[in-house]
Chain A
Amino acid sequence: MDGDGQNYSVFNSRMLVDTVGDITDDALKASRIKDVIGVLVGRVFNWSQRKSLFPLHLGIKCCALEMAAAGASRFDAERFGVFFRSSPRQCDVLLVNGPISKKFADPIVRLWEQMPEPKWCIAMGECAISGGPYFQSYNILEGVDTVIPVDVYIPGCPPRPEALIDGFDKLRQKIIRIGAAPDDGAPESKNPIIVGDD
């Protein structure tokens, strides 16, 4: 329908929706049902999203090997529920680990759009953050955040696997902040999280 909600019927349905919504909101706030629901349901969903983050198994460049090492014996990222899947439909985190060339910009945007909500993006390494050593190149975008919104930046060329695991921890903090549990000690700042500068 019309995007502005202009409704020339006798009764404006949007107005009704807003009014009723406010009233029910007040009612829910008055009775503490909303808190109960938030505590019961929101906490559970938030916990589950925190505890099972499936990154997309996409290896672009050097950081891909550190990603593989993070999944291997010494740094066992699967302990923390980080479990690599190959299909974007089944993933929560797009782990961009390398420079984004002009040829790869469209495919990675398509991958990002194939992932179902809720989804997050981690820019791993200098190339994904700002182009890194290739920021002068004629074929490289200056960071993946020119095409995809990025949640967590992990600097390093390449970052160590510990840094990757720490980045997933930072992402968990952000999910707590987003999530329905208001008093889980979420940090206040809304800036994207950068590993290592806290």
Chain B
Amino acid sequence: MMATSDWLDLRGWIEGLVGWSMDNVHDALPSDDIDGTVTISLPTGIWPEDIILGRVFNLQDGFGQIQPALEGFFAATMICTVVFTTMMLTMLPIPYIERKFIGRLMDRLGATTTLRSLWIGESGVTAGKWWDQLPFGMGAPVGWLNKTLNSIWGNDHELEAVSRVNNRGYHGYWFLLPGFFQAFADFTKFAGKEHIVPKEADRTVYEVAPVIIISTTVLVFAFVPFGPHFYAASPELSVVFMMAIFGVAPLGVFFAGWASNNKYTLIGGMRSAAQLTAYEIPLLITVLGVCVISGSFNVIEIVDFQAQESNVWNLFMLPLGAALFLITMIAEVERIPFDMPEAEAELVEGWWTEYGGMRWGLMFAAEYQRCYAACILFALFFLGGWEAPFQGTMESIPIAGGGLELLFSLIPGIVWVLIKAWLLFAVFVWIRASLHRVRTDQILEFGWQWLLPLSIVNLAIAMFLRVWVWDGSWGIVAPAVMILSGIVGLVILVADEDKEALESMTRPYSTYAVTKAYPGRHPQTSLEDLQRQYTAYTAVKAATSVSLSETEAGS
């Protein structure tokens, strides 16, 4: 399969550079004539006799064998450095998007108003009239458009209170992306904080857990290509590598929860372990469907399949798979609505309650890195990676196609990947701002009872498409069996459930049925007992009154 052409040929450049430098080293090496012993003669009186060095190794002969290894080593070092730096720099917008976008969402009347207000603001108040800062009054039309839209659709209100509430304007210079450097401040502060290990904690595991989490999370990016020639490593089974490493971090989460010796962290770690176990399997089966329809376990070939062979994004061929991948990834990165492990309401901060300072900073960064990795993977698997939206279609337009082709050839692929990933993270934030938190048993029920059969169905659909759309050499037997098995499993799981058990699970029982808690623990006299006591009391009272009356009558 031919790879997509991209002028940002990073690997090619680096390999050329390394090869060129190696050749220069080869030329600069000493030649044979100094091969032999070297004698250093010192002035008499300092040392008794001359110093004789042994035979100097002939570098030129040996260099021929080690040159490819050296070239590979240097090339790998340089490419890893560049890719890691790129990943770190392009991850900085993620917390920025989180802060700003969630702020706008929470401050707005509704989602649509929110999205519009991100750019043009509301009630005449925007995020600081950035267009007035543009030189030569270039932003004047934008300001006019903003004013017009606000006058027509904006929630411009006569109450200055409402308008003020709507205002989330910032202080500072517009070109500094206010709030963008908050992440720098936070992490520099974490680096300067004191490191506390709880007295009863298991110190070794406590120290190891953040390292496990952050290292495995960074290692995922070794196989993530930012462009057709912009990746650190691309083995044949890079998808398997990525998914395997992605599944290691929950182990570190469980370590952290257990080693802190705190009940909240322990409950959080348990929840995290159960939830991630329940969502790893549908995730892997969904990714397997993507690999099946693309016919490869290599991410680059998956993207090239969408870009060139099928010329259709997997999103349109496997919509079910895309939805499953999004849901399971949100559960994997433990965001709302699946953030039971770190529920602030009942567990103080979840499994990282006891972590502070730089250890917690590392975990915090790892969370965002996992989100970022999830977004990039979605972009690569389902959104065509570094292909512009509908690139092939637009390039096939008769007249304008050539110009568009030239335009697309000028834009490097990493631009499209990053744009797709950031927009997808905005979707993550949108979901977080508009949904509630799901209970643990409901999360597990959802994962085991719906996502697993649906992922199998998705795999069957992928096999069907692969078999019938691309190479029709297969018989219909296997995909038919897959589809039937998935459907049957779904029917069994959904229809054949125990209604009573489900009822008792979702509606446990009224407070009457349970053992009385404080303050109802004391024996409560029933109304009948009160009736009995009271009748006895009235009988006694009646008797005494009668006797009294008799004595009065007698006297």
Q: 14 interchain pairs (CB within 8 A)?
A: A45-B189, A47-B185, A48-B184, A52-B185, A73-B107, A86-B348, A87-B354, A89-B357, A89-B360, A90-B349, A90-B360, A114-B196, A116-B195, A118-B194
Residue B77 is within 8 A (CB to CB) of chain A in the complex: no
A44-B188, A48-B188, A89-B354 known; A81 vs B349 contact (CB < 8 Å): no
Name the CB-closest residue of A to B166. A73
Identify 6 new A-B residue pairs, CB closer than 8 A, beyond the known A73-B106, A81-B182, A81-B185. Answer: A47-B185, A73-B165, A74-B164, A79-B171, A85-B349, A92-B189
Provide the bound-state CA to CA distance between A52 and B192, in Å: 12
What DSSP secondary structure best describes chain B's contact surface?
helix
Residue B16 is within 8 A (CB to CB) of chain A in the complex: no
Residues in B with CB closer than 8 Å to A86 are 344, 348-349
Residues in A with CB closer than 8 Å to B185 are 47-48, 50-52, 81
Q: Report how many residues on chain A are interfacial, defined by Cβ distance under 8 Å.
A: 25
Residues in A with CB closer than 8 Å to B182 are 51-52, 81
Name the CB-closest residue of B to A51. B185
A48-B189, A74-B164, A76-B168 known; A117 vs B344 contact (CB < 8 Å): no
Provide the bound-state CA to CA distance between A86 and B360, in Å: 13
A49-B192, A79-B179 known; A116 vs B357 contact (CB < 8 Å): yes
A78–B194 CB distance below 8 A: no
Residue B103 is within 8 A (CB to CB) of chain A in the complex: yes
Residue B186 is within 8 A (CB to CB) of chain A in the complex: yes
A89–B195 CB distance below 8 A: no
In the complex, which range does the number of interface residues on chain B fall in?
20 to 34
Name the CB-closest residue of A to B264. A87
B103–A116 CB distance below 8 A: no
In the complex, which of the residues A49, A85, A116 has the most CB atoms of chain B within 10 Å of its own CB atom?
A: A116
B179–A90 CB distance below 8 A: no
Residue B7 is within 8 A (CB to CB) of chain A in the complex: no
Residue B279 is within 8 A (CB to CB) of chain A in the complex: no
In the complex, which of the residues B170, B179, B348 has the most CB atoms of chain A within 10 Å of its own CB atom?
A: B348
Contacts from A to B (Cβ < 8 Å): 44-45, 47-52, 73-74, 76, 78-79, 81, 85-87, 89-90, 92, 114-118
Task: For the complex formed, measure the closest distance between the CB of A110 and the CB atoms of chain B, giving whole angstroms.
Answer: 12
Residue B437 is within 8 A (CB to CB) of chain A in the complex: no
Residues in B with CB closer than 8 Å to A48 are 184-189, 192
Task: For the complex formed, measure the closest distance between the CB of B291 and the CB atoms of chain A, giving whole angstroms.
Answer: 40
Contacts from B to A (Cβ < 8 Å): 99, 103, 106-107, 164-165, 168, 170-171, 179, 182, 184-189, 191-196, 344, 348-349, 352-357, 360
A74–B165 CB distance below 8 A: yes
Task: For the complex formed, measure the closest distance between the CB of A164 and the CB atoms of chain B, giving whole angstroms.
Answer: 17
A78-B103, A87-B353, A116-B193 known; A52 vs B186 contact (CB < 8 Å): yes
Name the CB-closest residue of B to A114. B196
Provide the bound-state CA to CA distance between A44 and B192, in Å: 10
B188–A90 CB distance below 8 A: no
Residues in A with CB closer than 8 Å to B356 are 87, 89-90, 115-116
B353–A89 CB distance below 8 A: yes
Which 10 A-B residue pairs are closest in the complex by CB-CB distance?
A89-B356, A48-B188, A116-B194, A51-B185, A87-B349, A117-B194, A52-B185, A48-B189, A48-B185, A52-B186
In the complex, which of the residues A90, A117, A118 has the most CB atoms of chain B within 10 Å of its own CB atom?
A: A90
Residues in B with CB closer than 8 Å to A51 are 182, 185
Provide the bound-state CA to CA distance between A88 and B99, in Å: 22
Residues in A with CB closer than 8 Å to B355 are 89-90
Provide the bound-state CA to CA distance between A125 and B360, in Å: 31
Task: For the complex formed, measure the closest distance between the CB of A85 and the CB atoms of chain B, giving whole angstroms.
Answer: 7
Task: For the complex formed, measure the closest distance between the CB of A156 and the CB atoms of chain B, giving whole angstroms.
Answer: 21
A118–B193 CB distance below 8 A: yes
Name the CB-closest residue of A to B102. A78
Residues in A with CB closer than 8 Å to B192 are 45, 48-49, 118
Provide the bound-state CA to CA distance between A155 and B183, in Å: 32
Name the CB-closest residue of B to A116. B194
Residues in A with CB closer than 8 Å to B349 are 85-87, 90
Name the CB-closest residue of B to A79. B170
Provide the bound-state CA to CA distance between A52 and B182, in Å: 7
Task: For the complex formed, measure the closest distance between the CB of A112 and the CB atoms of chain B, giving whole angstroms.
Answer: 13
A78-B99, A116-B193, A118-B192 known; A87 vs B348 contact (CB < 8 Å): yes
Provide the bound-state CA to CA distance between A92 and B361, in Å: 14
Provide the bound-state CA to CA distance between A92 and B356, in Å: 10
A117–B189 CB distance below 8 A: no
Name the CB-closest residue of A to B361. A90
Provide the bound-state CA to CA distance between A22 and B336, in Å: 56
Residues in A with CB closer than 8 Å to B357 are 89, 116
Provide the bound-state CA to CA distance between A89 and B206, in Å: 14
Provide the bound-state CA to CA distance between A47 and B188, in Å: 9
Provide the bound-state CA to CA distance between A92 and B353, in Å: 15
Task: For the complex formed, measure the closest distance between the CB of A143 and the CB atoms of chain B, giving whole angstroms.
Answer: 26
Name the CB-closest residue of A to B172. A79
Task: For the complex formed, measure the closest distance between the CB of B74 and the CB atoms of chain A, giving whole angstroms.
Answer: 32
Residues in A with CB closer than 8 Å to B195 are 116
B354–A49 CB distance below 8 A: no
In the complex, which of the residues B103, B193, B354 has the most CB atoms of chain A within 10 Å of its own CB atom?
A: B193
Residues in B with CB closer than 8 Å to A117 are 193-194
Task: For the complex formed, measure the closest distance between the CB of B326 and the CB atoms of chain A, giving whole angstroms.
Answer: 27
Task: For the complex formed, measure the closest distance between the CB of B95 and the CB atoms of chain A, giving whole angstroms.
Answer: 11
Residues in A with CB closer than 8 Å to B193 are 92, 116-118
Residues in A with CB closer than 8 Å to B344 are 86
Provide the bound-state CA to CA distance between A118 and B360, in Å: 15
Provide the bound-state CA to CA distance between A114 and B348, in Å: 14
Name the CB-closest residue of A to B193. A116
Residues in B with CB closer than 8 Å to A85 are 349
Provide the bound-state CA to CA distance between A30 and B356, in Å: 38
Residues in B with CB closer than 8 Å to A49 are 189, 192
Residues in B with CB closer than 8 Å to A45 are 188-189, 191-192
Name the CB-closest residue of A to B99. A78
Provide the bound-state CA to CA distance between A125 and B191, in Å: 32
Residues in A with CB closer than 8 Å to B179 are 79
Residues in B with CB closer than 8 Å to A44 are 188
Provide the bound-state CA to CA distance between A135 and B398, in Å: 85
Name the CB-closest residue of A to B364. A90
Task: For the complex formed, measure the closest distance between the CB of A56 and the CB atoms of chain B, giving whole angstroms.
Answer: 11
Provide the bound-state CA to CA distance between A116 and B190, in Å: 10
Task: For the complex formed, measure the closest distance between the CB of B415 and the CB atoms of chain A, giving whole angstroms.
Answer: 30
